[in-house]
Structure 1
Amino acid sequence: MASLPSPIAFLTARLPARHRAAGGEFLRFGLVGALGFCLDVAFVYALIPSLGLYGAGAVAYFIVASINWALNRLWTFSDRTHRAAHTQWLRFLAVNLLGFILNRGAYSLLLALFVLPRHYPILAVAAGAASGFLINFLLSRRLVFG
Structure 2
Amino acid sequence: MSDLASLTLRMRDVIGGIWREAAAFGLVGALAFLVDTGAYNLLVFGLPGVTGGPMRSAPVQASAVATGVAMIVSWAGNRYWTYRHRRREKVTHELALFVFVNIVGLVITAGTVALSRQLTGCDCALSDNVARLFGWAVATLFRFFAYRRVVFMAA
Report sequence identity in percent.
29
2:130 alignment partner, one of 115, 123, 140:
123
Larger radius of gyration: 2
Residue 98 (structure 1) aligned with residue 104 (structure 2) = yes
**SS of aligned partner of 2:89:** coil
Structural RMSD (CA): 1.9
Q: TM-score, normalised by structure 2?
A: 0.75
* Cross-structure match for 2:3: none
Contact 1:117/1:124 (8 A) holds in 2: no
SS at match of 1:50: coil
Pair 1:85 & 2:91 matched: yes
Alignment pair present for 1:132 and 2:124: no
Q: Which residue of 2 aligns with 1:31?
A: 27
* Structure 1 residue 107, shift from structure 2 partner: 2.6
Query: What is the rounded CA distance, in whole Å, between the counterparts of 2:81 and 2:75 in structure 1?
Result: 10
Structure 2: gaps (5+ residues): 1-10, 45-52
**CA–CA distance in structure 2, aligned partners of residues 116 and 23 of structure 1:** 39
Provide structure 1 residue ranges, at least 5 long, that are not aligned to the other structure: 1-14
3-state SS in 2 of match to 1:16:
helix
Say how many residue pairs are matched. Answer: 132
Alignment of 1:62-77 (within 5 A): 62-77=68-83
Give me the TM-score of the superposition, normalised by structure 1.
0.79
Distance across 1 between alignment mates of 2:92 and 2:123? 35
Cα shift readout 1:12-57 (whole Å, capped 9, x = no counterpart): xxx7212221221111111111111111111101212222311210
1:54 and 2:50 aligned: no
